[in-house]
Structure 1
Amino acid sequence: MSRYHSSRSSHSSTTPIITLYDTPGQSPQPWAPNIWRIRFILNYKRLPYRTKWVEFQDIEATLRSIGAPPSSRRSDGRPVYTLPVIVDPTRNPSHPEILSNPNNIAEYLETHYPARPVFPDGSRAMQSLFVHYIQEVFAKPLLPIMVPLSARGLPERSQPPVSTANSLPPGPQRERAWQLVKEQFDFLASILDKNSGDGDGVCAMGHSVSYADFALCSVLLWIENMAPHDGWARIREWNGGRWIRLREKCREYMDVY
């Protein structure tokens, strides 16, 4: 799926470039949707960067060691450290910017690297609302299916002691879970169809890809990587092939550096 390259990142060892922190799965392909959102932006904006791979159980210690801010806090105030994180020394090598939380990173990249905007003029509020919907509503029915599959897809050292906990075995319960997923895809397709007279109707903004499309395509890549036969094989056929067309629209921004 992804193409690994070194050409855009082939700077001298002394040339500062952005570092994107990612966590590997068992396959060589990146899988985590929140991290894909940022990788898409970096590729779309043609920003030189390199990936630093951190296994799942090392994330908190690694992020604390580089001074990364927590991505959120628990109800009791304790910090939560998650990926993605970027370190950007290009603007001030002696005091690099270190950012966590995909929404914060997206805003930072758009503000400081405005060329090839992922938020076209006047769309930032609506796209932010769309991405919130993708995270908080659209993806929710996927969690009982995808979280256990993602745990099993981690390298052996990173797998939780019982990685099959809460998994859905084949049968009626799993089929019901996929039906709930399909209902979300059907609803979203009905909304995006309103763009059919403006562009090809695949992109959220009509004509060209934007942050909203990257957020959605990141979920598609998560499913494709972790559930290629049970999940992606279904979804690519739904809604007249809309989702495979979106994936193809985003293909040129799927390089991994």
Structure 2
Amino acid sequence: MSNAPAKTILLYDIPGNCSPDKAYSPSVWKTRLVLNYKKLLHKTEWVEYPDIAPLAQKIGASPCGQKPDGGPLYAVPILYDPVTESCYTDSFDIALHLEAAYTNAPSVFPNRTKALIRAWDEIWMEKAGRPMYQLILSSVHAQLSQASQTYFRETREAKFGTLEAPPDTWEKLEHGLSSIDAYMAQSRFVMGEQMTYADMVMAGWLICVRRVLGMESDGWRRIEQWHNGRWKRFVDEFAHLEYV
């Protein structure tokens, strides 16, 4: 299949108010970075939290998990590819689809590295993604629309008890990023000089945190100075891909 899809790919995302382009979700940024890296024609469609499940059911998108009560859980990103006339959910699965469907586009899973990158995705979430999420919960809530704020608070408080980060969250995040820094050693990217989906996983989260906390915030300045400025340098690598 060619690099350019015959029709525009639709990417569904949640709007926020922390940036002019509305985009903040780390999971959707992972997908958006892949689309921009591969130069695939796409358009963002905005959907509020309470409207995600009805939309997914309407267009035939699969649930991405289960709610605590056992019901289907729907979340963004949701991608509709008009070439295959099908929907895809979960950032990793979407990346795999785009890799397989658009073979003339630059690869984000080079040299049969899918299993390795999936493992890295899990390591990142364990070490850094979870504490990052807890760190920004209240800030994410604050920049949502009223309708999404209500949904977000109800669902997140049911899961975490509160939107406020535990006292040791900063310590956990710094420790987790220290582990990632050590794994990467002196490499520019996870696999050396070549950008892959493993890097887009990390960049998606870092872009989210920077946008939600604010580029000039004490929190973001704290993160970008850790580990000899690695995280600022790293996220700067994606500046040319950070657009909606």
SS state at 2:220 partner: helix
> How does 1:13-162 map onto structure 2 within 5 Å?
16-27=7-18, 28=20, 29-74=22-67, 77-91=70-84, 96-114=85-103, 115-160=105-150
Select the residue among 153, 164, 171 that pairs with 1:168. Answer: 164
SS state at 1:223 partner: helix
CA contact (8 A) 1:22 1:54 kept: yes
CA contact (8 A) 2:131 2:169 kept: yes
As a proportion of its length, which structure holds more helix? 2
**Counterparts of 2:70 and 2:102, CA distance in 1:** 33
**Counterparts of 1:43 and 1:224, CA distance in 2:** 19
Could you state the TM-score of these two structures normalised by the residue count of structure 1?
Answer: 0.82
**Counterparts of 1:209 and 1:246, CA distance in 2:** 11
1:86-120 Cα distance to aligned partner (Å, 9 max, x none): 101124xxxx1111111211111111112200011
1:139-162 Cα distance to aligned partner (Å, 9 max, x none): 122233212221222122321279
Give the C-alpha shift of residue 47 in structure 1: 0.3
Q: Name structure 1 gaps, 5 residues minimum.
A: 1-8
**Counterparts of 1:111 and 1:89, CA distance in 2:** 15
CA RMSD of superposed structures (Å): 2.3
**Counterparts of 2:70 and 2:151, CA distance in 1:** 27
**Counterparts of 1:230 and 1:157, CA distance in 2:** 29
Are residues 207 and 157 of structure 1, via their aligned partners in 2, closer, same or farther at CA, if it must alter by over 3 Å? Answer: same
Are residues 162 and 123 of structure 1, via their aligned partners in 2, closer, same or farther at CA, if it must alter by over 3 Å? Answer: closer
The one-letter code sitting in structure 2 at the alignment partner of 1:207 is: E
CA contact (8 A) 1:209 1:250 kept: no
The one-letter code sitting in structure 2 at the alignment partner of 1:143 is: Y
**Counterparts of 2:99 and 2:179, CA distance in 1:** 29
Q: Name structure 2 gaps, 5 residues minimum.
A: none
